[in-house]
Amino acid sequence: MLKRIFGLETEYGLLVHQDRPDHSPTWFAHQIRDHVFHVQRQGVLDLHHRGHDEPPGNGGFLTNAGRIYLDMGHLEYASPECHSLTDLVASDRAGDTILQRAVHDLGLGDQVSLIRNNVDHETDATFGSHENYLVTRRFPFSRRGLAPLVTFLVTRQIFTGSGRVGAASPQDAWIQMDRLIVPRAALGHRSQSAQLPFQISQRADHIVNDFFEWVQQNRAIVNTRDEPLADPNQYRRIHLLLGDSNMAEYATALKLGTTGLVLQLIEEGKGPRDLDLDEPVEALQEISQDQDREWILRLQSGKRISAIDIQEQFLAAAKMHCTGQDDETDWVLEQWEAVLQDLRGDYGCLVGRVDWASKLWLLENFREAEKLEWSDPMLKSLDLEYHNLNSEKGLYYGLLQEGRVPRLTTDKAVELAMEHPPRNTRAFGRGELVKHLLTCGPPAEPEAARKEERLFPSYVINWSIFQLRGLEPFPMPDPFKSYAQEVRSHLVRP
């Protein structure tokens, strides 16, 4: 899409199918990671510390220029930088396939399941699906400038949510008030009920701030850390962690595509006005938990308006200012309008395109057939099975095989994206580097190396720079540039 770089980071749940397992989920996660890098040789592991919780060997870059690593014991896949929704969906699916094939090759398919979701029903833990959008430094990154984005993000869950049975327990959290950080409970904010049968979002219960820098325990609608992973004088990276992990390719593309267009509207000063929410965090949870799916919200002006009406105002602005700029934009606008129209009717017409609707349809059919109450634990098990990456077991894949799910990519495109990065971003150059290291091996340590040279690892790879022993650092500050030829020339220097 126009002037946009996208990226997705997906944390996976790992379900062990044993009452008294011999190994923890983290142990299995290590086996899967090691198989990808040591046996399948699909990438190179880090040789340096990336942070206090990422020691050498914790993860590494793949030939497709994405990353697989462990985060808090969870397997996580970060897609390469993508300049189109087509590449993003294919690269995102490639991560699922790489990890699921490792499970199969290790013979662990009967012991564990990889679950692409965001909640653990037993422990109330949540794990993330993080979105990344490149914007310019001119983007109005302030509370006032970001207010339209907050309103959009709170309401987009009506077509991006993955749905869940029940609700999380009240979250202990601290929020920032001016220069003070205070307990949220001290401000009298109400907590949600844990007795809900179903809600449309998995992450909504775990979001406790509108803006915050930290990513754990104080998860925010907009994360405010400034880590561009690009030239900091030109770019900023909008990092979002409020969204659900989507199984439907359609939902993934629509989530990233609509958000990209809203960011463009804000950059160009063309966004709809007077839609600031009275209490964004409460509104986020109220929408998710509304059993009647009316989704009525209160604005700061005192006006009450539905989430669908709000989305239609953003759509109208995008149609006015963005129509015709490229084919993907026009697809997003067309599908955005279609899904909002369908949300005004029977949710059943959204099956296959919107994850929460697909899941609710499956659960309601099962409940009716088996005469179950929402409190039956079987429904939580089916909730998880919707997200199972094993195509022979996952309920989403059952819908796909029945022809109920539209595809935005193909199996062949996913296969290509498992090994090859997009060719129109700097991911292409990084992929060339990883393939070079796999083919030629890391640089050897010179016999006469000084002590400080021996302490330096043979290679260091980061998103925007890399260095091989004996060569100068190679910065890649522009995510829109492939750097492929420059990387190849750099690697053959004497």
Domains of the chain, residue spans: 425-491
Catalytic option among 71, 124, 330, 342? 71
Instruction: Say if residues 147 and 272 touch (Cβ distance below 8 Å).
Output: no
C-alpha span between 459 and 479 (Å, rounded):
21
Helix and strand counts by DSSP (H, E) for the chain: 14, 19
- Element of type H or E holding 367: helix 355-370
Q: Is 205 a catalytic residue?
A: no
Q: Quick one: pLDDT at residue 51?
A: 79
Instruction: Say if residues 425 and 81 touch (Cβ distance below 8 Å).
Output: yes
C-alpha span between 141 and 147 (Å, rounded):
10
Name residue 129's beta-bridge partners: 10
Query: Tokens 């016999």 appear where?
Result: 447
Query: Which amino acid appears at position 226 of this protein?
Result: D
Helix, coil or strand: residue 58 = coil
Instruction: Say if residues 314 and 184 touch (Cβ distance below 8 Å).
Output: no
C-alpha distances in Å from residue 28, one per residue of 34, 35, 55, 109, 239: 10, 11, 18, 11, 29
Helix, coil or strand: residue 360 = helix
Selection from 47, 13, 22, 40 nearest residue 122 by Cα: 13
Instruction: Say if residues 468 and 491 touch (Cβ distance below 8 Å).
Output: yes
Query: Which amino acid appears at position 195 of this protein?
Result: Q
Instruction: Say if residues 2 and 329 touch (Cβ distance below 8 Å).
Output: yes
- DSSP code of residue 118: S
Count of beta carbons in the 10 Å neighbourhood of residue 443? 15
Q: Quick one: pLDDT at residue 455?
A: 72
What's the pTM value of the predicted model, to 2 decimals? 0.94
Q: Quick one: pLDDT at residue 324?
A: 97
C-alpha span between 230 and 483 (Å, rounded):
14
* Cα 285–chain centre separation: 19
Return the sign of the alpha-carbon dihedral for residues 209, 214, 215, 218.
Answer: negative
Instruction: Say if residues 212 and 175 touch (Cβ distance below 8 Å).
Output: yes
**Mean pLDDT, contiguous 10-residue spans, the chain (494 residues):** 92 93 94 98 96 90 98 95 98 98 97 96 91 96 94 98 93 56 52 76 94 72 93 96 97 98 96 96 97 97 98 98 97 98 97 98 97 96 98 97 96 98 98 98 76 79 96 97 98 78
- DSSP code of residue 253: H
Query: Which amino acid appears at position 453 of this protein?
Result: E
Q: Quick one: pLDDT at residue 72?
A: 86
